[in-house]
Structure 1
Amino acid sequence: MEIILIQDVDNLGSAHEKVSVRNGYARNYLIPRKLAVEANPSNLKQLEERMKQLQKKEAKLMAEVNKVIEVLKASPVKIGAKTGTSGKIFGSVTSVQLARAIRDQKGYEIDRRRIHILDEVKELGTYKAKVDFGNSNEAEVEFEVTAE
């Protein structure tokens, strides 16, 4: 039986995919649990329309991500840290502080879990971090640690 998956199903396929399964598996498990629908002409037409909408949404999202990447690359972000007399900072700069600085200075809210600082930040200076936006979109952000 030909079906269209509504949700991802392990060992079968991902959402919005047309697959062939045994009749009993489709009728007794997938369709009653709203994991799939039968692949009839009207459902296939709905699938095409849904895919067009997803592509439009994806294109709009990609444009927004590219805009954010350009803003992040434009100028370095400044982070203030408490320092000792030798120029070493107390503690270290973390992705939480970098996310807060990006929000305050650039105006974009970025989840701290998407920020990966490349080096340990224990002294004043300029460092780099990578921001992962998903779908293989990454931006390298330069940030400067200054004394408060």
Structure 2
Amino acid sequence: MKVILLQDIYKHGVAGEVVDVANGFARNFLIPRKMAVQATKNALRSHKKLTERVEARRAQYDNMLNDVAKQIDGAEVIFERRAASTGKLFGSVTNQEMADELLEVTGVDINRRRISVQNIRELGTHEVPVRIGTDITPNITVTIIREGELAEFLAAREAGEAEEFIAEMVEEVAEAVSEEPVVADVFVEDEQEPVAEGAEAADEDAE
């Protein structure tokens, strides 16, 4: 059913737009709650006036998204985690944790589903896109430090040596990975049992 939205409806559109929705959704939810009206001829005649309001709302919404993108673009969130010598975490940093920490750092509350990476399971610095709108995707930096080294990292960052600290940590991880024993499958052909000289001669006589 075609309806004219009277309110912004998540995943369907903003007020004033003419959209197609399921009949049941329109009759049982949108129209009774005065969130939309059926797109009849009379209603469509009034649509032009609503369109101007829609454009104004859309511009306002786009400006808001741009402001949010500017606030979080390049923001860094830092986590301290237990990890193996190879850099693999004992667990992970989830997108919900990223969203919570981003709120602490920037004051911007982002739904975790807008964070493109669901989980991170390795030490280091990770660039993570955040889907703010259709065309707006700022990046945040997720830095994961080995447990017990956060104070040292913060001191290094204060001294302008954060990149060197991360590079050294990554190098240590690379060395640990290269030193891990390599387990390979070795196939050994079955050894032939020795044949007695007499038996070999008997075989030759039989031929």
What TM-score range do you get, normalising by the shorter chain? 0.5 to 0.7
Query: Is 2:85 the counterpart of 1:83?
Result: no
2: CA distance, partners of 1:122 / 1:16: 43
Aligned residue for 1:70, secondary structure, equals helix
Structure 1 residue 125 displacement after superposition: 1.0
- Residue 6 of structure 1 corresponds to which residue in structure 2? 4
1: CA distance, partners of 2:48 / 2:77: 43
Query: Is 2:64 the counterpart of 1:95?
Result: no
Structure number with greater Rg is 2
User: 47-56 vs 93-102, which deviates more?
Assistant: 47-56
Q: Larger helix proportion, structure 1 or 2?
A: 2
For the aligned residue pairs, the C-alpha RMSD in angstroms reads 2.9
Aligned residue for 1:6, secondary structure, equals strand
- Residue 178 of structure 2 corresponds to which residue in structure 1? none
Q: How many residues align?
A: 122
- Residue 139 of structure 1 corresponds to which residue in structure 2? 138
Query: Is 2:10 the counterpart of 1:38?
Result: no
1: CA distance, partners of 2:132 / 2:84: 38
2: CA distance, partners of 1:137 / 1:106: 18
- What is the TM-score when the length of structure 1 is the normalising length? 0.66
Structure 1 residue 135 displacement after superposition: 2.7
Aligned residue for 2:46, secondary structure, equals helix
- What is the TM-score when the length of structure 2 is the normalising length? 0.49
- Residue 68 of structure 2 corresponds to which residue in structure 1? 68
Q: Is the 8 A contact 1:77 1:102 kept in 2?
A: yes
Q: Larger strand proportion, structure 1 or 2?
A: 1
Aligned residue for 1:117, secondary structure, equals coil
Structure 1, unaligned runs of 5 or more: 8-13, 19-28
Structure 2, unaligned runs of 5 or more: 6-12, 32-36, 148-207
Q: Is the 8 A contact 1:117 1:128 kept in 2?
A: no
Q: Is the 8 A contact 2:99 2:111 kept in 1?
A: yes
Q: Percent identity?
A: 25
Query: Is 2:54 the counterpart of 1:54?
Result: yes
